[in-house]
């Protein structure tokens, strides 16, 4: 199974000013996050970012700010799924038909609006074993497809980062790299954005 750009959303978890200096290999992690955000913009993949307690950890790092402007969600829970879900999932509308209308309003079911929303989530972020892990597990519990971009994820220690990847893989998340995402979103060299994306990953 390959990623389909038109079915994906990108979620960048907690690349924050006071957190990133503590992250192992932070420069490489952040560079890949920036690449992902730029590629998503080129290929019209919706992008969201989260900030954990920004009053304490600072806002999103400057390198990402122009790429995520207006798409940043603040949270206090380590599991960002609850904060993200209203934006990631299609809006609900009342079910049509006589049976639904005959029920009291609080019992009428909501159904997704057809052809709205993208159920494949590409995640990257920090710290891999805390907010990224808990957010990914929360989204998996909602039966969304979760793909974690390992080279754009970080933690203060390698042990914690790698333990998060092991647990995520066991839970059903797909583990990928930035270049895997880029070339799967492109799919072929005839894509009109191929050269621009290639310049970002080289």
124, 12 Cβ separation under 8 angstroms: yes
Per-residue model confidence (pLDDT) at position 104? 45
Q: Phi, psi at residue 133, to the nearest 5°?
A: -60, -50
Residue 108 has pLDDT above 80, yes or no: no
Query: Helices 178-186 and 194-201: crossing angle, nearest 10°?
Result: 170
Residue 111 has pLDDT above 50, yes or no: no
Dihedral of the alpha carbons of 43, 146, 162, 17, in degrees to the nearest 10? 60
State the average pLDDT for the chain: 90
Per-residue model confidence (pLDDT) at position 96? 53
Residue 110 has pLDDT above 90, yes or no: no
- 1 sits in which H/E element: none
Residue 92 has pLDDT above 70, yes or no: no
- The set of residues, in sequence order, having a beta carbon less than 8 Å from that of 66 and lying 6+ positions away, is none
Per-residue model confidence (pLDDT) at position 202? 87
Question: Tell me: the pLDDT tens digits for 155-168?
Answer: 999 999 999 999 99
Question: Tell me: the pLDDT tens digits for 16-53?
Answer: 999 999 999 999 999 999 999 999 999 999 999 999 99
- The set of residues, in sequence order, having a beta carbon less than 8 Å from that of 28 and lying 6+ positions away, is 151
Name the DSSP letter for residue 128. I
Topology adopted by domain 5-86+122-201: Rossmann fold (3.40.50)
Q: Where are the domains of the chain?
A: 5-86+122-201
Distance (Å, rounded) from C-alpha 197 to C-alpha 10?
A: 16
């Amino acid at each position: 199974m390959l990623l389909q750009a038109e079915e994906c959303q990108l979620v960048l978890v907690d690349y924050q000013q006071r957190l990133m200096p503590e992250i192992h290999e932070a420069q490489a992690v952040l560079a890949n996050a920036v690449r992902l955000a730029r590629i998503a913009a080129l290929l019209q993949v919706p992008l969201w970012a989260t900030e954990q307690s920004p009053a304490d950890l600072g806002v999103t790092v400057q390198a990402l700010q122009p790429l995520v402007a207006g798409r940043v969600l603040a949270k206090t829970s380590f599991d960002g799924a609850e904060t993200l879900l209203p934006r990631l999932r299609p809006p609900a509308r009342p079910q049509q038909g006589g049976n639904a209308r005959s029920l009291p309003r609080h019992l009428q079911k909501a159904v997704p609006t057809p052809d709205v929303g993208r159920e494949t989530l590409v995640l990257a972020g920090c710290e891999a074993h805390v907010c990224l892990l808990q957010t990914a597990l929360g989204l998996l519990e909602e039966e969304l497809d979760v793909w974690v971009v390992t080279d754009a994820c970080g933690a203060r220690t390698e042990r914690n980062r790698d333990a998060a990847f092991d647990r995520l893989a066991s839970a059903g998340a797909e583990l990928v790299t930035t270049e895997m995402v880029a070339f799967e979103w492109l799919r072929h060299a005839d894509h009109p954005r191929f050269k621009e994306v290639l310049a970002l990953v080289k």
